[in-house]
Amino acid sequence: MQRLLFLCFLLCAVACTTVAAQTAPEAKLLRKLRTQPSDTGRVRLLNALCYELHDNAPTQALAYGEQSVALARGLQYQPGLLRALLNLASCYANLADGPYALQLQQEALQLARQLNDPDGIVRSYAGMGGVYHERNDTAAALRNYRRALKLAYQPRVRVRTQIMLFGNLGNLYFYLRRRPEGLVFTRRALQLARRTGDRAGESLYLADLGSFYMQMDQLETAEGLMRQAVTIVESLQNHRFEAGHLELLATVLLLRGNLEEAEELTTKALQLARRINYQERVLDAYHLMAEINASRRQFETAFDWQNRFRDLNDSLNSRSRVQTLTALQTRYETAEKESQIRQLTERSKSSQQRNRALWVAIAALLLGLGGVGLFYVKLRRSQAALAINHRFLEEATKELRQVAESKDRLYAIVAHDLRGPVTSFAGVTELIDFYLKQGDEQGLRRLPNLVRQSAHQLNHLLDNLLNWAVNQSGELAFRPERLSVESLLSQTIQLYANTAEAKQITLELDASEELAVWADAHMTQTVLRNLVGNALKFTPANGTIRLAAEALSGSGVRLSVTDTGTGMEASQVTALLTDAGPNTSTRRGPRSGTGLGLLLCRAFVQRQGGSLDIKSGLGQGTTVAITLPAARA
């Protein structure tokens, strides 16, 4: 049941994409682009191409988005630049480059405010909310969605922007298990789609509602909504939507025990997905076929479908990682080319200055001995200018070398540290094979927990790697503000409540509502998530993790995370506090992580003017405390 609901959530995630009117095909846009001069019309064509490809081929869409941004800046065409920034941000978000996507959306937000464009403001906030939702920062996602909601009903906000916002907000509320609010916003999106004649949007949000009712175990209502969605999308010949809707309906029928029709619909969805090369839907169809055959107790057939699922999933994950690294490499190469262009321009100007000085010197020689003195003075000045330019060139070369080294370190860490979690996933597949051969149903029931644990570990690792890379490149902005300590700790407890309950660990909170710190919200939340995640990892069942805060004499606030785990020796504590790079040993026993978590915590705390301390003893648990500046009254 839980595995089917998880599949339902993956299928439902399609609704987070923008529901918009059908744009011209890519081939038609490309034909127009060949004859279009470099004017505002070309900017609009490039924006249309980038938007057309940003979901299905984000790597290809990047080139059009970058061209559009550059051309719009050169023409000073601000409305076109606003749309180009928003489309390019969507490409980087789809390629998992969340920090750069947020940077582009922030620039778009400032430009939209200058242009007094409420539609651009709403799209910017909604886009940032989507990036935060993708990174599981639900508090920041909800905050940005609410900012967009305040302006969503203004006259100049487009209907498709409202539909996107309401649909995304509905999905977020359901993810937060605030189901009544999730139903309200999804129904709003459905009503707008019907009112504007957007049949594709209508079918999409009917399917969303059906999936929500399926999660609430109201299967009869869910089936009726999904059948309506399938009926609508069949008449549109939209095979992407149709394949997804058929798989959702098949999932409901599987839960209701109608295995024959579930298999028939899944087979049809699989054929459609293969016809349009929609690999994500092919992957979901494989999983459904495995579940259907397992329900019939045809375990050998189910195992064959599960093997297909595993092979395709590995291929898709590999493609996703390559696309993400390609996007990062594109950013580095763009910055390097811009630096080279600046250097060549400076050299050209310097060369022109030297040539003029030489011509003046030659003319001075022809005028007589008096010109010799003038030539000598100008020569000395030219030498001084050359020395200054040479120094600037050396500094630029040093910066380029640091950027290259940072990129090489990022690739090395990704190559080294992803091996462990991926091996963990491979081990789970071996367990599936073993349990199926042994007929061990109890062992099979434990596998979802193992898969979920490996997924959380891999997600946590990727988040730490990305944060570390951004921190090393100096691109992570420090934006301090007044933050409630009690709210920070409560959000962290809420994030790990399910994990703690599953491990039978008690989470306690001891913080006064009046306490507040002057700190960056993203950095502080990252630190607290890492500390509580480590405590959960090393605290045994029936243990306790206590989050506390107290005001210090002076102008500081001490936040601490105390667990009842096995503790550490003094030498281990010293090593953790003195290690200066990633790939350190874990704090308790054999290596099980990258060491990036504590490194990020220490770097983020120091960047905010605070400090980090660890106290532990064997068999006495561990306390990790951070000190941050207190907020001004």
pLDDT in tens, 356-406: 887 887 878 788 776 666 777 887 887 888 888 888 888 878 877 866 765
Task: Supply the mean pLDDT for the chain.
Answer: 81
- Radius of gyration of the chain from its Cα atoms, rounded to whole angstroms: 29
Position 150, amino acid: K
Question: What fold does the segment set 480-629 form as a domain?
Answer: Heat Shock Protein 90 (3.30.565)
Whether residue 202 contacts residue 210, with contact meaning beta carbons closer than 8 Å, is answered with no
Secondary structure (3-state) at 447: helix
> For the chain, what percentages of helix, strand and coil (3-state, to nearest 5) are there?
75, 5, 20
pLDDT of 378 reads: 81
Please, how many CA atoms are within 13 Å of residue 302, restricted to the half-sphere of its CB? 15
Angle between helices 98-115 and 118-134 (to 10 degrees): 160
Per-residue confidence (pLDDT) for residue 408, from 0 to 100: 61
Look-up of token digits 């605070």: 610
- Provide the b/e sequence for 430-453 (b: ≥16 CB within 10 Å): ebbeebbeeeeeeebeeeeebbee
627 phi/psi in degrees, rounded to 5: -115, 125
Residue 550 bridge partners (DSSP): 558
Any bridge partners for residue 518, and if so which? 482
Token digits of residue 388: 């200054």
Longest dimension (CA), the chain: 107
CB 343 within 8 A of CB 393: yes
Q: What is the token pair recorded at 355?
A: 């040539």
pLDDT at 188: 93
Q: What is the pLDDT of residue 471?
A: 60
Tell me the C-alpha distance between 98 and 522, whole Å: 13
pTM > 0.85: yes or no: no
Would you give the end-to-end CA distance of the chain in angstroms? Answer: 51
Distance of alpha carbon 539 from alpha carbon 569, whole angstroms: 16
Q: Which residue intervals of 439-545 are DSSP H helices? A: 441-473, 485-502, 521-538
504 three-state secondary structure: coil
Category of 21 on φ-ψ map: left (φ > 0), alpha (ψ -120 to 50) or beta:
beta
Q: Which helix (H) or strand (E) holds 31?
A: helix 26-35
Q: Which residues contact 99 (CB under 8 A, 6 or more apart)?
A: 466, 470, 475, 476
Neighbour tally for 191: CB within 10 Å: 14
Rounded distance between C-alpha atoms, residue 539 and residue 537, angstroms: 6
Type of residue found at 412 = A
Which residues fall within 8 angstroms of residue 438, CB to CB, at 6 or more apart?
none
What does the pLDDT read at residue 592? 45
Six token digits for residue 624: 């990790």
Question: Do 292 and 266 contact (CB within 8 A), yes or no?
Answer: yes
Are 267 and 247 in contact by the 8 Å Cβ rule? The answer is: no
Rounded-to-integer distance, Cα 290 and Cα 109, Å: 46
Looking up tokens 């946590």 gives 460
* Angle, vertex CA 264, rays to CA 452 and CA 225, nearest 5: 70
User: Count of alpha carbons within 13 Å of 58, Cβ hemisphere only?
Assistant: 24
Handedness of CA 514, 517, 518, 522 (dihedral sign): negative
Q: What CATH number labels 1-16+206-297?
A: 1.25.40.10
Q: What is the pLDDT of residue 369?
A: 73
Rounded CA gap, 47 and 29, in Å? 10
205 within 8 A of 190, measured Cβ to Cβ:
yes
Regions of the chain with pLDDT less than 50 = 1-3, 5-7, 9-11, 13-24, 322, 325, 329, 332-333, 335, 341, 416, 420, 583-594
* For the chain, domain boundaries: 1-16+206-297, 324-417, 424-473, 480-629
Burial class (CB in 10 A: 0-12, 13-18, 19+), 151: middle
- H helices of 116-218, in order, are 118-134, 138-151, 159-175, 179-195, 199-215
> Pairing state of beta strands 506-510 and 544-552?
parallel
